[in-house]
Structure 1
Amino acid sequence: MYTTETEIVVRYAETDKMGVVYHANYLIWCEVARTDFIQKAGFSYADMEKEGVISPVLNINLNYRHSVTYPEKVVVKSWIESYSKLRTVYGYEIIREDGSIAADGTSTHVLLKKGSDRPIRLDRYFPDWHEKYMSLYEQ
């Protein structure tokens, strides 16, 4: 399975008074890792949006296992959990410096033309992206 790793340095602003990272920040870290995954695959959300296409989150699921505190560093692993022409599910693991898993989960995405609620197919709008995702998913 093709997996990317994105290092995140915990910022003080992401924590509560006890120095523990607020849970919503894990979602941001997953987004940072997903964007990094896409860039490392050779594509970008910015280019997609220039073509009038967006990729909203349909569902996100995170399981919190261990707290992360300031000033730790974490690594967010990301991969394609499942893929079809209409839907991509990305997988994530947020790993602490000691190697323990702080959180894991998935996010589900589709593509839409801006202003529409009907999903569009990746293979029709971005055939190179589709081919790359097929090969990465099959790894």
Structure 2
Amino acid sequence: MITAEAEIQVRYAETDQMGVVYHANYIIWFEIGRTALIEKLGFSYADMENEGILSPVTHVEAFYKKPLTYGDHATVVTSIKEYNGLKVVYEYEIKNSNGNVCVTGNSSHVCVKKETFRPVSIKKLFPEWHSAYLLAASKEEM
């Protein structure tokens, strides 16, 4: 399985009145992790969008286990949980600087045409992405 790691330093603006990272910010961090994985695979969301294709979130889940606070360093570890040529499910694990898992989650995405929002097949439209996603989703150790 291929994973990517993205480092994040918790900023004051990302915390709430209790001094912990506001829950919605983890969803933004998921996107940072997802982008890191896509780039590690050799691709770019921007290139896809330049071709008139978007990849909206169709489902997202986050499970909060431990708080992160201002000044903490977090690592977002991202992998592909499922891929079927049309839908991609990314999996996330956010750890603190001690390696403790603070948040886990996943997000589902499909590719759509920008003008119509009608789904398109990644397998057909982006065969290189398809091959890379199959490899990345493989449960074998790389």
Task: Judge same fold: TM > 0.5, yes or no.
Answer: yes
Please report how far the alpha carbon of residue 135 of structure 1 lies from its aligned counterpart in structure 2 after TM superposition. Answer: 1.4
Task: Name 2:83's counterpart in structure 1.
Answer: 83
For structure 1, the 5+ residue unaligned runs are none
Stretches of 4+ moved more than 4 A in 1? none
Q: Which residue of 1 aligns with 2:64?
A: 64
Length, aligned pairs only = 139
- Distance between the aligned counterparts of 1:116 and 1:130, measured in 2? 22
TM-score with structure 1 setting the length:
0.96
Deviation at 1:105, TM superposition (A): 0.9
3-state secondary structure, aligned to 1:110: strand
Q: Distance in 1 between matches of 2:137 and 2:31?
A: 19
Q: Shift of residue 118 of structure 1?
A: 2.3
- For 2:99, the equivalent position in structure 1 comes to 99
> For 2:19, what is the secondary structure of its paired residue?
coil
Task: State the 1:117 CA deviation.
Answer: 3.2
1:28: how far off? 0.4
Q: Using the TM superposition, give the Cα deviation of residue 116 of structure 1 relative to its aligned residue in structure 2, in angstroms.
A: 1.9
The alpha carbon displacement at 1:17 in A equals: 2.8
Alignment partner, residue 24 of structure 2: 24
**Offset, 1:55:** 0.1
Gaps of 5+ in 2: none
Q: Name the aligned partner's letter for residue 28 of structure 2.
A: I
**What CA deviation, in whole Å up to 9, does each residue of 1:108-133 have, x standing for no partner?**
00000012232110011111111111
Question: For the residues of structure 1 that align with 2:113 and 2:48, how far apart are their CA atoms?
Answer: 10
What are the Cα deviations for residues 15-37 of structure 1, in whole angstroms up to 9, with x where unaligned?
A: 12332110000000000110111
- What residue is the counterpart of 2:126 in the other structure? 126
Give the TM-score normalised by structure 2.
0.94
